[in-house]
Structure 1
Amino acid sequence: MAKKTIMLVCSAGMSTSLLVSKMQKAAEADGVDADIFATASTDADNKLAEKHPDILMLGPQVRFMLDSFKQKAANIPVEVINMQDYGMMNGEKVLKEALRAIDAK
């Protein structure tokens, strides 16, 4: 399986960094080769161009940017992270959701 690059976007990039580390632990436990990182919405365009992620996942607090990111990242899936999984920092569920969306495209 090729390495998956998963980009999380939130308003400041802070709350999501905890989720990133939980997702990385889940990926290691499942034997998934993944580069998972978080960025602030203000820097998302730069990161999109620089990292070419396989999926872009938005934190619930920036869900209003969904349409704008779908246009910018037309060739990859763009999803909003489930609010409950985000609140519980459920890295495993968010990772599974990301991989499902990547495989479905």
Structure 2
Amino acid sequence: MKRIILACSAGMSTSIVVSKMKEEAKKRGEAYEIYAIPGETIEEELQLYGNDVVAILLGPQVRFMKAEAESQAKPYGIPVEVMDTLLYGTANGAKILDRALQIAKK
């Protein structure tokens, strides 16, 4: 199954965003595994599932990890982006999912 990973500093906000994104994907009939992980475990996650990951979204609070995450994702061709602060703060699962799918590796 194709995966969308949200990386954060293990905060409650990201789990809310994940829930909203899953609800939206289900409404649309999209089959994606959407989940959050701590930012420092991106490399381990990619070693396990790198071929299935289509996008990595970073929480605004871990934007400083973007260069490192891009470096880890590059061998798999996975795009990495920091989530829009307003969309993240309002847990706008629909628009965050839209963006993930826009940047997703094909």
Q: TM-score, normalised by structure 1?
A: 0.89
Q: Give aligned pairs, total.
A: 102
Instruction: Give per-residue Cα distances to partners, 1:66-104, cap 9 Å, x unaligned.
Output: 11111110011001100000000000000000001015x
* Identity percentage of aligned residues: 42
Partners of 1:42 and 1:71 in 2: how far apart? Answer: 13
Q: TM-score, normalised by structure 2?
A: 0.89
Where does structure 1 differ by over 2 angstroms across 4 or more consecutive aligned residues?
A: none
What is the identity, as a one-letter code, of the residue corresponding to 2:100? A
Structure-2 residue corresponding to 1:89:
91
Unaligned runs of 5+ in 1: none
Partners of 2:41 and 2:72 in 1: how far apart? Answer: 13
Unaligned runs of 5+ in 2: none
Partners of 1:4 and 1:91 in 2: how far apart? Answer: 18
What is the identity, as a one-letter code, of the residue corresponding to 1:50? L
Q: Secondary structure at the match of 2:78?
A: coil
What's the C-alpha RMSD, in Å, of the aligned pairs?
A: 1.4
